[in-house]
Structure 1
Amino acid sequence: MTTSIQHLLQLPEPEPSSAAADPTKSRLPADSAASEETPEAPTQETQPVSGRRRPVARGTAAYPRRRAIRACETCRSRRTRCDNKKPVCSFCEKVGAQCITNPAGYSSFDPASLVIIERLDRLEQLLQSSSPSRLQHDEPPVIQQVPPSTTEQNREPSEHASPLSNPPNGLDFGIFTIEAVMSWPVFAGRFDSRPDLQALLNRGGTMSDYQESADLLPTEDFLAKQVETGACDRLVSSFLNYVHPANPILDVPLLLQYVQYVRINGIAWDAKSCLVLLVCALGSTAEAFHAQHLSESISARNSPSFVIAKSYFTAAQKRIGSLLSHSGVLETQCFFYAGVYLMTLQQPMAAWKFFVQAAATSQGFGFPRRTPQPELVSPAARRDRVSQESLYWTCLKSELEVRMELSLPGFGLQDFSYPSAFPSPPSENLEDETARAWYYYLAEIALRRLANRILHHLFRHQEEGRFFRISQMVDSIAAFEDQATDWMVSLPPMFSLSTPESEDDVLKFVLRGHLLDCCEWMYFPFMLETINYGRRDPVLDEYTRKGLRMSVERIAKNKAGFYHRHHGAWLMLRTCTRSALILLAASHSNHVGDLVPTGWREAVMDAMDMLRFWEAEVSDARDRLGVLAELMADL
């Protein structure tokens, strides 16, 4: 079991080399370990022997030189010497502080150095834009399979891109969304007057819906009796069967203790009660993957199970405000599961706010900046550490996924970068169901990291939504294809994707969907340039054809989950709709008629059926269904 988990963690990934990714490393003095020392006064040997003063050089008079200060923020505030050890200096490692060094802070450089740095920046940008060999620095095709502790301990924090290339609010990946595809030149601006995503989401249900209908819901006394009599056990069991495996961040025995605590003491105004209420709310909405579905999603929202779920969530929501002043595991779990519940109800904007709060709270855990020594960790401390690590990853993953689809700024905090370390499994000897959940969890994290690297690579090669140097991207995309294949080969048998899709459970279904995300993003630049601007050659045609086939395949492979309600359903609606829109763009283009795959029309019709199921509940699904119908009517 342990060997298999380690194999999954040691997946090779196309990593940018830190030296190429961060040009500031070559700018800064080699003796930065002594960064807090002040310039030494001239010694006697440096003074002129004669009484006549030597004339001062003009350059020296104009540019008094000082040694650049590169100490971390903690050492600077303490006014102590910083050894600049990477990724954490010795003092920060000792006290457990966050070690932050600003490599782009040039305020202490003299004017001459600033001019030199500016010229070097320009020269570097020219070389990167004109040299096909940039690939050697950007995305090495293969990294030897060695433990992460070997390859990643020496990596600098700013590994993904030069600070100069990042906008102040993080990377803008809006060019990959449905709204960006609707604005492609092939559509000649026909959808420019359509409401944007934010406006569409504001038309749907909001948090006020719960407050306005609170009087119609079962009272908290009723909920307390449900808990006291054990009637909520069915909901807890439903949660553990259908919700928990997708994000195994809870200590199940501890959760059952919380349920017993609330049963004995009643529903209090603390984090334990809040978590139990959220678990019951999610358990009330959870369903089996291949369950029978109604004719439209809105029917489920009016069912008794959703009324009960809303009651539990409303009670939890009243208690969440009191958790804001705390930063423990329990509080983070409450924020996260509140976001999961709202995603289940197709309210991504409201859910994202809770994911942000959960991610912010998890920053207090100190993961992954410091790792305690194994011999100094007690079993209880290890258990706490595992909970913190898994929460950190889950909150980061969920916030990034939703933020990217909403095209929201990242506030310059995380910029879609994943830390190098992986979370640890809860124990070395995992039971079957726990092992399955953790295999899935680690596989999803590895694939999410690959997806983020693909997106970073595409962002660095795009200029205002265009990929002018598309021919230079071919080798790196081939390397990413190899990495995706390696990921599939490394999966344990229980998650093998070589089995028929009809046999998938929800976990394999989600993994297939994330893999399709990676593949479609790889080929996105080729489809954009070929469909809209007619850039054709055998290599570009090959990747465009792959991308269009992948769009058909995405819709076909997601069809089994079109009507399944879970917290990733809205993201599935978005990706399948984007695939259908790309296929319609290709069918409307005068440049790629010979590249459009067979079965594209059936795929678009399937996507439209999916949107019809959700249109009464999801306002952006309703609007995008109209877009697809309008384009289909033209053909």
Structure 2
Amino acid sequence: MMGDTPASPVAPVPASPLLALSASNLRKERGAIAAQACDTCRSRKQRCDEQRPKCSTCQKFGLECNYRIPQPTKKDKTLLEILDRIKGLEAKVDSLNLRNTFASPTAVHGHLPPGPTTGSDAPMSLSGHPLSGTAYSLHDASSTTSGTDEHFKYVCSVHQMLAWPAIRQVLAAAQQKLPTIDLGAVEREKPAGLFQLGSTASRSLPTHTPYRVMGPGPTANGPTPTFLPITMSDLNWDSMQRLSKAYFDSFNLLCPVLDRHFFLSSTLPSVFSEGFSQDMASTIAFLVFALGEVALAGSSGPPIHVSNRRPSGVKGGSKDIPPGLDFFNEARKRMGFNLTDCSIENVQIFFLASIYYGTSFYPMDFWRMSTSASLACQALLASTPAVMSSPRGDMVRRLFWNCSNMETLLNLEFGLTPTGLEKIESVVGLPDFSGPFSDEDHISNQESHYQEHFASQIVLRRLLVEFHGVLSQGMSIRRRNHPILRPADFSIRLVSLALQLEQWRGMLPPQLRWHEESSGAFPNTSMYSPSLYSTIPTSTPMTTSLPPPNTAIPGSASPLMFTTDLDAVPVRYPYSLDIQVALLRSRYYHTKYLVHRPYLYKALHHPDAMTHDDALGAAECLKATLKWPVAMSPTCTRKRLIPCVFFFTQNLFGILLLLHLSTTVPILRRIQSTLCGERFEMDASETVGLYLDWMRDIKEVDCTAQWQWEVVKAVYGLEE
């Protein structure tokens, strides 16, 4: 898809074999797509060769050449259906009265085997004998203590979890094996301070590229194919088209912040014909080229190192010289000229820059640019409120929610102060992709459903914020009398939130659904275009489609989209489909893990007060840590393309510590063996292997992961 680029602006545009096949499949499904004839040829009722920016007829007669933008057909209304589901779910969340949610927590874990009982409310051990301590019951709102509820503790970040007494014991034991690392700094630092642990000096991107990094690169099984990065000296019409296509077929599907049709029909021809200036169009173009180079190199460039006899999932460039740095530096030179402009382009510039910093593993720079994008978005809406009702209003909504999604992750996990963007959510509303779009966007959405993925992540983010607010309130409620949420209802709130999360998963459109116990399975193979299962000759790695999968879940006919076999040749999915699916599912499991983590705290620190329902909650927490798709192949082999990758690194580190405790703490071992299912031990072993490989790989480019790796290496008794 990315290698099939048009010729120069004055030459005929060759057809892409993948797009031709994809379009053919679509025609069989919904009828022929109208040709993109210009207005002149349409009025003359003659065939248009569709050259950009002017077709040959308009060039011949010196006429203005305008192309109409295709509008959605009836079958393009899929997103409207998911938006309706979103509104329905949000209404349920808003109307849910926690006072009326007094069902047993077992209701949400009903599929698990019930434990023996000695009374309706008596706390019990996992062996069936009553445990010491007070019975599981509801306390009056006037109580000064909250009984078993005091045994729960909710924390939203890994940094806060490291302060748990059980985790501190693990770190203290590891400290004895790490004389050169001061783990006490973890307690002294704020969450964001972890970014600098293990760093000997302040890192910054070089302002120039001293050399070109190209293949063959290091691998465990011989050299890789030569990969030649595109640099400023190579920048011609063909290379511009190739880089632009690489960006729009990857990053813009993960974070849809640019209009492909406008960029390809207006921005790109303008900078090509008139040259690069200091304006925002040139700045955006260079950012697109930089990220396009990252998309190409991050998929098929040489790995930057080999660890544990396995090529790195960080590809292209090197630790200090990331792909696309030439273009990014050109953008940086121009960003100062657009610093205070209140426009859509201003927001886009900051957001694209944040993505690039993330792909280069500079978390603080990523945060600074993300914050700038959020503030620019607020400035735009405050200074030009009419933009929401303009033709570009939906683009503003897409920008707003991209900023909001990133801001939430950074705030909850790293304690970074939000900008206040969430205060205007109700004013902005949800995006519906109602604006003009190109045929390429239509095809990419038909095959990857990126619009539905984006909308579903918005709702999941809103649920996460709601959950955080309820659980944080529950932890502080003991200090005052609250008319709705009583102090003893904390475990009831956990059940309510788990039910809401299950509602979200059950209301996903069919194209996105999956069996929760099978995190690596395809959602529904019949929902995807046949071109996904065809082998198509291509000159660009981003366009490779997959053959029919041969592996399946034991006891199931469902094929696997993700695998724990990191030594197998990774399948490449078009339109970054694997990354889209992996992000949605991994964030779901992360949310479920957070909601149930208070049960794990109670099991670790107050085992004598555990009830059977508490044990079920702890079991759900442990199962939610297993085999996050983002850490499985093929997604983990393209780490540069994963937005906010350090968020996942941080959480995988915390999970590794908890999974270690699950094998050493007696009550957790008992929960594993009786409530987590027959496959848990095997799945947990595979999960530890996956997450250790992730940490071992990413430590080469992430200073925070360097000391995290030393910790897990000491905890698990690993050798280099």
Provide the TM-score with structure 1 as the length reference: 0.66
Change (3 A) 1:410 1:306: same
Residues 172-203 of structure 1: CA distance to partner in whole angstroms, max 9, x if unpaired?
A: x9933222222221133616524556555335
Residues 452-511 of structure 1: CA distance to partner in whole angstroms, max 9, x if unpaired?
A: 111112211225999x99962333333323322322232223222248153262211111
SS of equivalent residue, structure 1 residue 366:
helix
1:617 aligns with: 701
Tell me if the contact between 1:238 and 1:284 (Cα under 8 Å) persists in the aligned partners: yes
Across the aligned residues of Structure 1 and Structure 2, the Cα RMSD in angstroms comes to: 4.1
1:437 aligns with: 450
Greater mean deviation of Cα atoms: 538-547 or 358-367: 358-367
SS of equivalent residue, structure 1 residue 593:
helix
The answer as to 2:346 corresponding to 1:335 is no
Amino acid at match of 2:473: R
Return the offset for 1:345: 1.3
What is the rounded CA distance, in whole Å, between the counterparts of 2:477 and 2:400 in structure 1?
33
Return the offset for 1:388: 1.0
2:84 aligns with: 7
SS of equivalent residue, structure 1 residue 231:
helix
Change (3 A) 1:11 1:183: same
1:547 to 597, 600, 621: 621
What is the rounded CA distance, in whole Å, between the counterparts of 1:292 and 1:315 in structure 2?
22
2:466 aligns with: 453
Residues 38-95 of structure 1: CA distance to partner in whole angstroms, max 9, x if unpaired?
A: xxxxxxxxxxxxxxxxxxxxxxxxxxxxxxxxxxxxxxxxxxxxxxxxxxxxxxxxxx
1:177 aligns with: 157
Matches within 5 A, 1:186-205: 186=166, 187-188=168-169, 190=172, 192-195=183-186, 196=189, 198=192, 200-202=194-196
Return the offset for 1:313: 0.7
Change (3 A) 1:562 1:425: same
The answer as to 2:681 corresponding to 1:598 is yes
2:205 aligns with: 210
2:400 aligns with: 392
The answer as to 2:340 corresponding to 1:325 is yes
The answer as to 2:269 corresponding to 1:264 is no
Return the offset for 1:601: 3.9
What is the rounded CA distance, in whole Å, between the counterparts of 2:647 and 2:470 in structure 1?
22
Change (3 A) 1:610 1:211: closer
1:235 aligns with: 243
Change (3 A) 1:543 1:417: farther
Change (3 A) 1:400 1:341: same
What is the rounded CA distance, in whole Å, between the counterparts of 1:338 and 1:319 in structure 2?
12
Change (3 A) 1:318 1:174: farther
Higher-helix-fraction structure: 1
Return the offset for 1:329: 0.5
1:579 aligns with: 655
Amino acid at match of 1:181: M
The answer as to 2:691 corresponding to 1:607 is yes
Return the offset for 1:305: 13
Tell me if the contact between 1:563 and 1:613 (Cα under 8 Å) persists in the aligned partners: no
Tell me if the contact between 1:181 and 1:581 (Cα under 8 Å) persists in the aligned partners: no
Residues 503-547 of structure 1: CA distance to partner in whole angstroms, max 9, x if unpaired?
A: 262211111111111110110111112212324111111101110
Residues 211-254 of structure 1: CA distance to partner in whole angstroms, max 9, x if unpaired?
A: 45456579xxx966544443222111111111111112211111
1:511 aligns with: 584
What is the rounded CA distance, in whole Å, between the counterparts of 1:340 and 1:527 in structure 2?
34
The answer as to 2:382 corresponding to 1:402 is no
The answer as to 2:521 corresponding to 1:500 is yes
Return the offset for 1:385: 0.7
Amino acid at match of 1:549: K
1:570 aligns with: 646
Amino acid at match of 1:443: S
Tell me if the contact between 1:444 and 1:511 (Cα under 8 Å) persists in the aligned partners: yes
What is the rounded CA distance, in whole Å, between the counterparts of 1:209 and 1:545 in structure 2?
43
Amino acid at match of 2:374: A
Tell me if the contact between 2:141 and 2:487 (Cα under 8 Å) persists in the aligned partners: no
Change (3 A) 1:410 1:229: closer
Tell me if the contact between 1:359 and 1:396 (Cα under 8 Å) persists in the aligned partners: yes
SS of equivalent residue, structure 1 residue 326:
coil
The answer as to 2:369 corresponding to 1:354 is yes
2:611 aligns with: 537
SS of equivalent residue, structure 1 residue 362:
helix
The answer as to 2:492 corresponding to 1:475 is yes
Amino acid at match of 1:316: A
Greater mean deviation of Cα atoms: 388-397 or 296-305: 296-305
Change (3 A) 1:224 1:630: closer
Structure 2: gaps spanning 5 or more residues: 1-75, 100-139, 176-182, 214-229, 480-484, 523-559, 563-577, 673-679
Tell me if the contact between 1:470 and 1:525 (Cα under 8 Å) persists in the aligned partners: no
Greater mean deviation of Cα atoms: 400-409 or 452-461: 400-409
Identity among equivalent positions (%) equals 16
1:244 aligns with: 252
Change (3 A) 1:487 1:428: farther
Amino acid at match of 1:447: L
Return the offset for 1:422: 1.2
SS of equivalent residue, structure 1 residue 400:
helix
Change (3 A) 1:128 1:598: farther
Return the offset for 1:426: 2.5
What is the rounded CA distance, in whole Å, between the counterparts of 2:473 and 2:453 in structure 1?
30
Tell me if the contact between 1:400 and 1:416 (Cα under 8 Å) persists in the aligned partners: no
SS of equivalent residue, structure 1 residue 409:
coil
What is the rounded CA distance, in whole Å, between the counterparts of 1:309 and 1:570 in structure 2?
20
Return the offset for 1:414: 4.8
Return the offset for 1:129: 7.4
The answer as to 2:324 corresponding to 1:313 is no
Amino acid at match of 2:521: P
Change (3 A) 1:290 1:500: farther
Change (3 A) 1:356 1:485: same
1:281 aligns with: 290
Change (3 A) 1:549 1:174: closer
Tell me if the contact between 1:271 and 1:323 (Cα under 8 Å) persists in the aligned partners: yes
2:598 aligns with: 525
Change (3 A) 1:176 1:617: same
Greater mean deviation of Cα atoms: 263-272 or 286-295: 286-295
Structure 1: gaps spanning 5 or more residues: 22-125, 136-172
The answer as to 2:501 corresponding to 1:488 is no
What is the rounded CA distance, in whole Å, between the counterparts of 2:314 and 2:339 in structure 1?
35
Tell me if the contact between 2:245 and 2:292 (Cα under 8 Å) persists in the aligned partners: yes
Return the offset for 1:5: 3.5
Change (3 A) 1:415 1:425: closer
Tell me if the contact between 1:204 and 1:619 (Cα under 8 Å) persists in the aligned partners: yes
What is the rounded CA distance, in whole Å, between the counterparts of 2:445 and 2:689 in structure 1?
39
Greater mean deviation of Cα atoms: 205-214 or 583-592: 205-214
Amino acid at match of 2:615: D
1:85 aligns with: none
SS of equivalent residue, structure 1 residue 496:
coil
Tell me if the contact between 1:339 and 1:352 (Cα under 8 Å) persists in the aligned partners: yes
What is the rounded CA distance, in whole Å, between the counterparts of 1:233 and 1:290 in structure 2?
18
SS of equivalent residue, structure 2 residue 155:
helix
Matches within 5 A, 1:12-51: 12-13=89-90, 15=93
